[in-house]
Chain A
């Protein structure tokens, strides 16, 4: 009796465990391990392959590589901050100001663009912004511009595109955390003499910190690892680190170098997130909850 009970528990455990394990191991862990192995391989002058740190050394010795990374990281942090600044009032409006009926409608408006793939959305922006695009046509026809201006292929457009494509991933965790906030906290602060700005600084933002951090991590990682938006909207002037990896792997066919860059990206972005969590005194566990 006892044994059969144990057996059924084991059996059902494996039914659920095996798909998860296979998925994790075959599709995530195994390819990563292979890439890790490749990142330490290289060929010397005589064409002999062997273990080497050259791939990683190249990242530091060639300024173009680490400068691209620094640029990517700084822009990603900047984009994350812009997204946060826009998402905070939006999430606050949806959870605390808007009436119950409008809330659902607003959420749908925010969600609908994400039913379309990122590629289509970026092309949509390109149709709007390019030299012969809708916006230029409109501005020249009402006489604000004399000749059409190329609005694509610069950093500002790229940042705008990145902000647009990642906004949802900041708003959703913020709505989650703000919904759990008792309205009386804001009223209490107001009652105790706080002005509107002080309430934001001392009550709403500290309370929303776990949501802010988890949203920021998602947005930062998405921006740092995005390829489409910087490539299409930023053009050749806005080099992104993912493009370096793509170039190594697809254009130069140097998979070892590309793998090493991939791990550098993983390592450095983890370091940045760890630093951000330390600086804001946030607990990792409360952020991922």
Chain B
């Protein structure tokens, strides 16, 4: 596969503050690549470096093997879809899409042809004469993307373009955007703080935290085997349990939780630097009332604190035995668990392979958590 975008050891400093620190990655031709991170992690800075609005402090950006350092944004074969779209309000839809083509010296029939083709492609034929304030949020979205795609860029950069849409439309646009990307075959680099957007659309996701990539993988790998505490918390939902890891005679590692029980772990742990770890347990990986026979299965006793009904997204709020901590567990809506109510004592269980464990670290994803 041909490499379209190659970023090598990119660093960007603003005065003393390092926004992006030594980031390297490659994007293959026609792939959907996402950079996922909380706000302020440097993802927008990284994107603006690629677009050419910032000059990197160190490192290089190559697009189709051509060095981009020192090349003005208007000369780079990349286009950026802005967070608030930045459609030109004084022009109509046609003029907005034709803007880039006219800058390339095209005119007349050629422009009209391309604009109309593009409008058809994004599913808005006949919208050319409409004014920007006459079209809906989702349509603006598609016009903003069409305005860039019509220039046939090597890489299309998207800066959280779905952020301004309401939840239902966002769900819809996620699928639309993925379909569009597959159809046009352009390389997309998408930045977002919404892990669901990144997971649904991307071939590869880079999780970014304080200016660095924590992990770069496929969405499945990120979900199933996060490589750091941060990724485990940021991608998908996770329960965080403070545990002490110890090794038993059989060579197996166990995590001792404050409820006084030991839970089997998978993998090998280095206990030289202390045994304080955080165990991460996904709500959807937990089985309620597990079958008793499997010895490898971890089982925990809990009290039901509350049933949080939310349709297909319903959860149970549990308090593990002898603790005052809270645990969230997915509650399948199969009618099987409808009897559960506040105060019930139940058993829950999980396969050791679904839990991951990292050395205790104080990672704050959002200030309020």
Contacts and interface: CB of A to CB of B under 8 A. Distances in A.
Genuine A/B complex: yes
Contact of A188 (B72, B82, B90, B104): B82
Nearest to A185: B86
B66 interface: no
B80 interface: yes
B80 A188 contact: yes
A195 interface: yes
Interface in A68-82: none
Interface string A201-217: 01100110100000000
A62 interface: no
A194 interface: yes
A187 B73 CA distance: 9
Instruction: Classify the secondary structure of A's interface with B.
Output: helix
A239 B103 CA distance: 47
Contacts of A194: 74, 99, 103
B89 interface: yes
B149 to A, nearest CB: 12
A132 to B, nearest CB: 52
- Kindly name the residue among B75, B88, B89 whose own CB sees the greatest number of chain A CB atoms within 10 A: B88
A198 interface: yes
B86 to A, nearest CB: 4
B195 interface: no
Contact of B51 (A185, A191, A202): A191
A279 B73 CA distance: 34
A1 interface: no
Contacts of A185: 86, 88
B145 to A, nearest CB: 13
A209 B197 CA distance: 39
B103 A198 contact: yes
A195 B74 contact: yes
A193 B80 contact: no
A207 B79 contact: no
B138 interface: no
A182 B100 CA distance: 19
A167 B84 CA distance: 34
Interface residues of A, number: 18
Interface in B79-121: 79-80, 82-84, 86, 88-91, 99-100, 103-104
Interface string A166-194: 00000000000000001011011111111
A191 B73 contact: yes
B99 A202 contact: yes
A210 to B, nearest CB: 10
B6 interface: no
Contact of A192 (B72, B74, B84): B74
A184 B160 CA distance: 14
Given A198-B103, A202-B99, A190 B74 contact: yes
A190 B73 contact: yes
B250 to A, nearest CB: 60
Given A187-B53, A206-B90, A193 B84 contact: no
A206 B95 CA distance: 13
A53 B162 CA distance: 68
B90 A182 contact: no
B206 to A, nearest CB: 22
B147 interface: yes
Nearest to A198: B103
Contacts of A198: 103
B89 A207 contact: yes
Contacts of A191: 51-53, 73-74, 79-80
B83 to A, nearest CB: 8
Interface string B125-158: 0000000000000000000000110010000000
Contacts of B103: 192-195, 198
A187 B52 CA distance: 10
Given A190-B74, A191-B73, A194-B103, A203 B88 contact: yes
A189 to B, nearest CB: 7
Nearest to A192: B100
Contact of A207 (B51, B83, B90): B90
B86 A184 contact: yes
B86 A193 contact: no
A178 to B, nearest CB: 14
A99 to B, nearest CB: 13
A209 B100 CA distance: 22
B54 to A, nearest CB: 11
B77 to A, nearest CB: 10
B74 A182 contact: no
Contact of A193 (B53, B88, B100): B100
A248 B67 CA distance: 74
A24 B74 CA distance: 54
A192 B95 CA distance: 13
Contacts of A189: 88, 99
- Kindly name the residue among B73, B91, B151 whose own CB sees the greatest number of chain A CB atoms within 10 A: B73
A182 B151 contact: no
Interface of A: 182, 184-185, 187-195, 198, 202-203, 206-207, 209
Given A188-B80, A191-B80, 5 more contacts: A187-B86, A190-B74, A191-B51, A191-B73, A193-B75
9 contacts: A184-B83, A187-B73, A189-B99, A191-B73, A192-B103, A192-B147, A192-B148, A195-B74, A195-B103
Nearest 10 interchain pairs by C-beta: A193-B103, A184-B86, A192-B100, A188-B86, A206-B90, A184-B82, A193-B74, A190-B73, A191-B80, A191-B73
